[in-house]
Amino acid sequence: MRIGILALQGAFTEHKIMLEGLGAECFEIRQLKDLYSGPVNGLVFPGGESTVMDKLLRESGLFSPLRGMLEKGIPVLATCAGLILLAEKKEDGTPPCFGTLPVTVRRNAYGRQLGSFQETAPFEGIGDFPMTFIRAPLIVSAAGQVKVLAVTRRYEMTQGISQEFPAAVLWQNQLAMSFHPELSGDPSVHAYFLNMVQNAASLSEGRPA
């Protein structure tokens, strides 16, 4: 399996280390030519600054071909800022980037970097997983067909209540989460993603010409 990792900005190296440790071949996507350097079985959109990534995607010419790949169903793992790139809507009303994942997100909802935290919670198909949140976006809502794989509890200061919000979601071949699984030391989420990639490849090979 050959996985392309968006490397315009952000925490992409940790994803590469995690995936290569599981036996995947990885390459970094910085320029348009990188997309055509060989087969691409899956994509990773890492954490970082979503506004900077959006700008660089468009300036580099990567936006349109990557969106085309997403629309054709290539498996993608998106974390933190990567989730924002996929989200169909942003709560502040600013235009979406790819807009292929039917969720609404709120940027930097969990506070500044000094307010980062880790919470261990059940992740469907994996078990308990240590979720690290760093200036994380909040998944405010998800369409009915989106599967919620993990939730977190966030204290709502305005309402004085503790409420569950999705922390990891799956829709078609798009796996996205607010937290950073690459910082956990636990490869389970990346193994889950590689299984998605393998299943997608098997289905593709089984299709009639």
Is 49 part of any known ligand binding site? yes
Is 207 part of any known ligand binding site? no
Residues 132, 113 contacting (CB under 8 angstroms): no
Amino acid in position 35:
L
The CA–CA distances, whole Å, from 94 to 24, 51, 153, 169, 199 equal 36, 10, 26, 22, 35
Is 135 part of any known ligand binding site? yes
Structure tokens of 156?
């709502």
> Is 180 an annotated catalytic residue?
yes
Which backbone phi and psi does 204 adopt, to 5 degrees? -65, -40
Structure tokens of 13?
């190296």
Say which of 15, 97, 182, 190 is annotated catalytic: 182
Say which of 14, 26, 180, 190 is annotated catalytic: 180
Half-sphere CA count of 159, side-chain side, radius 13 A: 6
Structure tokens of 23?
């036996």
> Is 80 an annotated catalytic residue?
yes
Is 119 part of any known ligand binding site? no
> Is 97 an annotated catalytic residue?
no
Q: What angle do CA 102, 103, 109 make, to 5 degrees?
A: 160
Rounded-to-integer distance, Cα 71 and Cα 74, Å: 8
Residues 182, 46 contacting (CB under 8 angstroms): yes
Is 29 part of any known ligand binding site? no
Say which of 14, 15, 26, 80 is annotated catalytic: 80
Is 48 part of any known ligand binding site? yes
Q: Which residues are catalytic?
A: 80, 180, 182
Residues within the annotated binding site for L-glutamine? 48-50, 107, 134-135
Residues within the annotated binding site? 48-50, 107, 134-135
